[in-house]
Amino acid sequence: MWDVVELRPATPADSEFCFALRQVALRPYVEATWGWDEAAQRGFHERRFDPAATQIVTVDGRDVGRLVVERGPDETVLGLIELLPAYQGRGIGTALIRDLIAEGRPVALEVLAVNRKAYALYERLGFRETGRDETKVHMRIEVYG
């Protein structure tokens, strides 16, 4: 069980932690969807890692995940939520997503179609599928404050 879950702003120094996190949290889904090419994945990470939009999830002071959120004028986009496997299934992700929903704005996200566990979580929290393509499912919850 966890005690204190907090978010802290990411810094450029968190880049390596975030890539290592991607390797353990998302690799099985990336492999199933496109295959895992280490150099390509590192390049993708280096191009996309944005400390300004990233928060590091900590539990009892230990870095255990990341949350990427973009707040636009009309909606909040949950760009990414990743937790180390040992911290998955403990309600941490649920609590973080509920906090986003509690802001009272629509929340949109994409989830890899092969990630049925995440899809089920989003559905339980009230997100509905709004579309899909070959690899991703688009979901949204309409919340108004």
Per-chain mean pLDDT for the chain: 93
pLDDT grade for 28, boundaries at 50, 70 and 90: confident
Q: How confident is the model over 53-99, as pLDDT tens digits? A: 999 999 999 999 999 999 999 999 999 999 999 999 999 999 999 99
> What is the distance between the alpha carbons of residues 13 and 17, in angstroms, rounded to a whole number?
8
pLDDT at residue 27 in the model: 87
pLDDT at residue 119 in the model: 96
Strands (E), the chain: 5-9, 54-59, 62-71, 76-83, 107-112, 128-132, 136-141
Q: What average pLDDT score do residues 110-121 get? A: 94
pLDDT at residue 130 in the model: 98
Q: What average pLDDT score do residues 125-137 get? A: 97
pLDDT at residue 145 in the model: 60
| CA 142 vs CA 75, 100, 131: distances in Å | 9, 12, 15
Residue 143 φ/ψ, nearest 5 degrees: -130, 130
Q: Which domains does the chain carry?
A: 5-141 (3.40.630.30)
